[in-house]
Amino acid sequence: MDNRPGEDEARDRRALEAIIGRGLDNDGWPADALQPGTRVRVIQDREWGGPWREVFLGTIDRTLPPQVVNNRVAHSGEREYSVTFDEPQLDASGDGPYRKAVIWDRYLERL
C-alpha cells in the first residue's frame, strides 16, 4: 500500500502532536517562506561536516509550517522547515535512517 504525501504528512502531524501533548499551530504559511513542494538540496556545514552525513535531495512538506528557529546560534529570523527526503538518510552521528526531518534554512539550497 502506497500512501499519498498528504496522508503521510497528516499521520506525521498526529504522531508529533501525541508526543508533545498538544496540537500544532498550522494557521498559515509565511508568504516569504519556501513553499510546500519546493525541491531542495540538503547541504552540510563546512566547519563541522553535519548535520547530515551526506548531501541529498528532498521536498519541503506541510507536516509543520516554517517557524523561526529558537536557538542562540541561529541567524536572526532563520526558519526551520519540515523536509521529506528522497531516500532515507543518516545524520552526522550515524543515527537513522530518517525519512524526514526539520531542517534549518542555512542547510537548504532551493533547486
Dihedral, CA atoms, 7, 9, 11, 16, nearest 10 degrees?
-170
Q: Which domains does the chain possess?
A: 33-110 (2.30.30)
Each residue's pLDDT tens digit, 59-110:
999 888 898 999 999 999 999 999 999 999 999 999 999 999 999 999 999 9
CA–CA dist 14, 24 (Å, integer): 9
Range with the largest mean pLDDT of 2-11, 20-29, 42-51, 78-87: 78-87
pLDDT class of 19 with cuts at 50, 70, 90: low
- Return the DSSP state at 107: G
More confident residue, 17 or 1: 17
43 SS3 class: coil
pTM for the whole structure:
0.81
Share of the chain above pLDDT 90, in %: 61
Q: Residue 1: which pLDDT band, with cuts at 50, 70 and 90?
A: very low
pLDDT value at position 6?
A: 72
